[in-house]
Structure 1
């Protein structure tokens, strides 16, 4: 019986954990999450060990060797390119198989695509309207360089101490910080834009699980939507394909 290690950084990681629990394979699997918040959202998962904390390549390699996993599942975020590279390298050094869960990308008309956070920040500096950042807390430091950032920006981030601290460190006043767990409906997104008097929404290509279309559709309502593209095209497996593979173990 192969033991399974899931690196979870997305809602799909949670769904895979629930799938294994329902399949009666919870004791066969462990989960790695980077933050305390990642552990909290797994509080309904029973029977699995959860390792909390950011791991570098060497720590991942040591964990795989020590625990004797036969299959590694990379269900980290589409934009966590460095983490995915570390997982792949650690698995290669231990000789274990790794499968990458990849979210399918979605597209829509009327969106402005950029290749990086800095490019998005440059576009924002060329305008004066207010904007909603839904790109995560880690990028806020780069966005803080945008002209009149603290007066124009509203950040919607995960409800964790780390995310709130990142917002405050970036110079945002509390009244311009929203700490909530998504995904959010189109109506919720529109209501947020209206409440704060915003004209632009900045997001990532997070796919259906990340509520991408409910943000992209704001372009149809007359809002400007800037999308930061994924680091590179990834090959891998869909959620259903990964589930089917796990079912056979």
Structure 2
């Protein structure tokens, strides 16, 4: 790339640890302009290096227009594995704008010997499993603050809800909220389960290490775990399991040395 050439613009759809680490890896590379987009759902996000924009694009058409207007050479979807809408919007926008797209998807969690997992396809499915109380009556709910309405009709179980920001909207009538941000430790999760007498854990299959200790703590305590499966990745979109693979794709795609 000549000194006179415009830098190659890369847009990272972020909000995850992988997105921030990818920005840290790419920031400052000669010939590259980096923008990370955050949805704005967290009140005090940890900002990555490089340019940052906060807020939505207005659907796939708005994102495609932004890609064209800002001459984006490569798009990386490093959003949460359960951010299904933005991932499908990104796929449609990338096709419309003719921009290469990569999705960063951390590997799913896998059960270990001693686990008592109960996989379901949705939050509503998780709520249905809890309704009769047979799995447990003191629920540690770690699915985030956005989906509490799925459990709002359950007046039997008691819920401990952990989220980064305070939830609003419908929620179960018997709920205690714990505001906290990972990463979490195994000792901390053990203590939390004991202190709140938790007898069932509900989680999304987020993958990664930041929140995985709760699974080990539940295994040790013999606590059943309701695991919400991931939504599918948009068809035809290549994926990378980690930041080094994604960074190499960016370099190859933008022809950076």
TM-score by length of 1: 0.86
For residue 8 of structure 2, give the secondary structure of its aligned residue in structure 1: coil
Between 1:62-71 and 1:121-130, the stretch displaced more is: 121-130
Match of 1:29 in 2: 34
1:192 corresponds to: 192
- 8 Å contact from structure 2 (residues 84, 231) kept in 1: yes
C-alpha RMSD of matched pairs (Å):
2.2
Structure with the bigger percentage of helix: 1
> How do residues 172-187 of structure 1 correspond to structure 2 at under 5 angstroms?
176-187=176-187
Cα distance per residue 1:107-163 (max 9 Å; x no partner): 1132221111111101111105110111111111111122335xx0010001x3xxx
Larger radius of gyration: 2
Structure 2 residue runs of 5 or longer lacking an equivalent are 1-6
1:243–1:59 CA distance, 2 compared to 1 (3 A): same
Deviation (angstroms), 1:169: 4.3
SS in 2 for 1:19: helix
| 2:153 aligned to which of 132, 142, 145 | 145
How many residues are matched?
Answer: 236
Q: Is the 8 A contact 2:8 2:31 kept in 1?
A: no
- For 1:134, the equivalent position in structure 2 comes to 142
TM-score of the superposition, structure 2-length normalised? 0.84
Matches within 5 A, 1:1-249: 1-21=7-27, 23-24=28-29, 28-35=33-40, 37=42, 40-42=45-47, 45-46=48-49, 48-55=50-57, 56-109=59-112, 110=115, 111-127=117-133, 129-148=137-156, 152-158=158-164, 160=165, 164-166=166-168, 169-170=170-171, 176-212=176-212, 214-217=213-216, 218-232=218-232, 236-239=239-242, 240-248=244-252, 249=256
Question: What is the aligned partner in structure 1 of residue 4 from structure 2?
Answer: none
Pairwise CA distance, 1:26: 9.4
